[in-house]
């Protein structure tokens, strides 16, 4: 269902449903396209089947340092904090697993 994801009110088919990175191609059409996000490494149709899964992946990714899956594609001036704020994602401290 289009628009099922809570992190944006205007879902962009080319945006990673986990981290919002522009995939440069649709991660989903009517069907998942199994595109792997170079930024967070989530696979469309595997890690983002619903909002809860996408959110859990996002939290794990951030907790792990927000490292680029395809490090060679990481923009030189990229920062996790500014990326999250640009795509309108925020994560509260309470969402992180306690260690
Ligand atoms: Zn992503």
SS (H, E, C) 20-65: CCECCCCCECCCECCCECCCCCCECCCCCCCHHHHHHHHHHHHHCC
Q: Is residue 3 part of a domain?
A: no
Domain extent for 44: 12-88
Is residue 82 in a domain?
yes
Tokens at residue 10, please?
């205007």
Cα 78 to ligand 1 centre (Å): 14
Name the residues around ion ligand 1, CB cutoff 5 A.
16, 18-19, 21, 37, 39-40, 42
Closest C-alpha to 97, from 68, 55, 51:
55
What is the CA angle 33-28-88, rounded to 5?
130
Residue 98 has a pLDDT of: 75
Q: How far is the CA of 23 from the centre of ligand 1 (A)?
A: 8
For the full predicted model, state whether its pTM sits above 0.75.
yes
pLDDT at position 87 is 86
Task: Judge whether 97 lies within some domain.
Answer: no
* pLDDT for residue 4: 43
pLDDT tens digit at each of 99 positions of the chain:
344 454 445 568 899 999 999 999 999 888 889 999 999 999 999 999 888 899 999 999 999 999 999 999 999 999 999 999 988 888 888 888 776
In a domain, 41, yes or no: yes
Q: How far is CA 12 from the centre of its chain?
A: 12
Name the DSSP class of 87: H
Overall domain count for the chain: 1
Residue 1 placed within a domain: no
Lookup: tokens for 2 = 């289009």
Q: Is residue 98 part of a domain?
A: no
> Does 95 map to a domain?
no
pLDDT of residue 89: 87
């Amino acid at each position: 269902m289009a628009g099922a994801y809570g992190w944006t009110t205007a879902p962009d088919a080319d945006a990673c449903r986990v981290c919002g990175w522009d995939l440069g191609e649709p991660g989903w059409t009517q069907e998942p396209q199994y595109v792997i996000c170079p930024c967070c490494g989530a696979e469309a149709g595997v890690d983002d089947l619903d909002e809860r899964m996408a959110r859990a992946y996002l939290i794990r990714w951030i907790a792990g340092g927000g490292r680029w899956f395809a490090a060679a594609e990481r923009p030189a001036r990229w920062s996790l904090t500014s990326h999250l704020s640009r795509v309108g994602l925020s994560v509260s401290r309470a969402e992180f697993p306690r260690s």
